[in-house]
């Protein structure tokens, strides 16, 4: 006996086609809507607070900056009162916001793959006609774009809030404490944190350890960038001007001083030698014999010593932003691509 082969019906052929991307996007939204709602609540609450606080800060700064003559004691006291009232809060806000990308990467990025791998539900997901690598892309890419876009919008509001403190000379745009919170850097750091979390979740396959690994990896990367990489994006400028732009006693300048050292006859001079020289003028020496004022600089210049300053001018803010945003974007794409490749290669 021979069995007759029945031709497949059109609806059966259609059922074998890959599931459309839009359907997987809906699944991703359903699975991760609470995590996205948490990000929206966090950034939304901070945005409302920054908006209300920023209105008070801008109003107070407008009144202080309008004081004339600006060099009078009354105007100085007005600006001093403004900084005493609002600057501590601004510092606290900036410090808290520096942790936002790490938290998003740990609590949104790490569980994306780790939760399904830990519970074993990925085996069911891979049998639904979508494929493991498309499943991974459909989860990572939309979420990554969403959190990065939200962070980019938030950074605009933070820049507006912090503007009076730049105008008052209390902070410089290139300062590590605020550089990563403005421009394209905040969105880029958030994207990188999410990509780190996604890869950590795949490699570790456990949610809690993946969260811890994401926080550790992001912290190390952020410290390396702030302490070592950023100051070398472009070659620092060098000057022997005793009052270089951005020096501590040049209020209102925006340069970022990378390093300073003293020389005599073209040779570097140690702090111990400077302390011995300053013993001849103890009224000029600062705490521990370290030069602290322009008068000390003038005294040392008269004795043949030269202060060299390596600095990054404030005009390089946007070039630095694009450089940092560029390499963070490249890193994020590489991490997501590595995650997809490992999903394809790694056995279930």
User: What does the DSSP assignment read for 249-279?
Assistant: TSTT---EEEEEEEEETTEEE-HHHHHHHHT
- C-alpha 219/C-alpha 329 separation (Å) is 17
Residues 6+ apart with CB under 8 A from 265: 304
Residue 268 buriedness (CB in 10 A; 0-12 / 13-18 / 19+): exposed
Residue 155 CA to chain centroid, in angstroms? 10
Q: Quick check: 296 and 242 in contact, CB under 8 A? A: no
Domain spans, the chain: 43-233+316-345, 237-315
Q: Quick check: 79 and 64 in contact, CB under 8 A? A: yes
3-class SS at 159?
helix
User: Residue 69: what pLDDT?
Assistant: 85
Q: Report mean pLDDT in 10-residue bins for the chain, 348 residues.
A: 50 51 62 74 88 94 87 86 93 93 92 84 62 79 89 94 91 90 94 95 92 96 93 89 50 72 84 77 52 65 82 91 96 95 73
Instruction: Tokens for 108, please give them.
Output: 């949104």
Residues 6+ apart with CB under 8 A from 184: 152, 155, 321, 322, 324, 325
Q: For residue 286, give the DSSP letter.
A: -
Angle of helix 294-302 relative to helix 271-278, nearest 10 degrees, comes to: 90
User: Residue 291: what pLDDT?
Assistant: 46
User: Residue 287: what pLDDT?
Assistant: 47
- Beta-carbon-side half-sphere exposure of residue 308 (alpha carbons within 13 Å): 13
Q: Would the CA dihedral through 192, 196, 197, 202 be positive or negative?
A: positive
């Amino acid at each position: 006996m021979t069995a007759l082969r029945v031709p497949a019906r059109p609806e059966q052929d259609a059922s074998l086609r890959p599931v459309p991307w839009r359907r997987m996007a809906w699944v991703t939204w359903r699975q991760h809507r609470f995590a996205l709602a948490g990000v929206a609540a966090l950034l939304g609450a901070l945005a409302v607070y920054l908006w209300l606080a920023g209105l008070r800060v801008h109003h107070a700064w407008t009144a202080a900056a309008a004081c004339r003559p600006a060099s009078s004691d009354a105007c100085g006291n007005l600006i001093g009162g403004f900084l005493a009232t609002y600057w501590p809060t601004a510092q606290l806000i900036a410090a808290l916001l520096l942790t936002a990308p790490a938290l998003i990467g740990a609590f949104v990025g790490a569980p994306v793959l780790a939760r399904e791998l830990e519970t074993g539900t990925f085996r069911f997901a891979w049998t639904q006609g979508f494929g493991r690598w498309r499943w991974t892309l459909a989860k990572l890419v939309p979420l990554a774009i969403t959190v990065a876009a939200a962070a980019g919008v938030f950074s605009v509001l933070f820049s507006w809030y912090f503007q009076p403190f730049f105008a008052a000379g209390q902070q410089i745009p290139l300062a590590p404490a605020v550089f990563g919170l403005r421009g394209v850097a905040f969105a880029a750091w958030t994207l990188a944190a999410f990509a780190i979390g996604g890869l950590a979740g795949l490699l570790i396959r456990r949610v809690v350890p993946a969260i811890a690994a994401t926080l550790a990896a992001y912290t190390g990367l952020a410290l390396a960038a702030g302490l070592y990489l950023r100051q070398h994006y472009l070659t620092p400028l060098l000057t022997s001007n005793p009052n270089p732009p951005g020096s501590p006693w040049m209020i209102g300048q925006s340069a970022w001083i990378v390093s300073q050292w003293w020389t005599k006859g073209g040779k570097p001079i140690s702090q111990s030698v400077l302390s011995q020289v300053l013993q001849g003028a103890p009224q000029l020496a600062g705490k521990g014999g370290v030069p602290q004022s322009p008068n000390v600089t003038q005294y040392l210049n008269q004795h043949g010593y030269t202060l060299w300053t390596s600095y990054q001018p404030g005009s390089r803010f946007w070039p630095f932003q694009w450089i940092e945003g560029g390499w963070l974007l490249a890193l994020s794409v590489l991490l997501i691509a590595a995650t997809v490749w490992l999903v394809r290669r790694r056995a279930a």
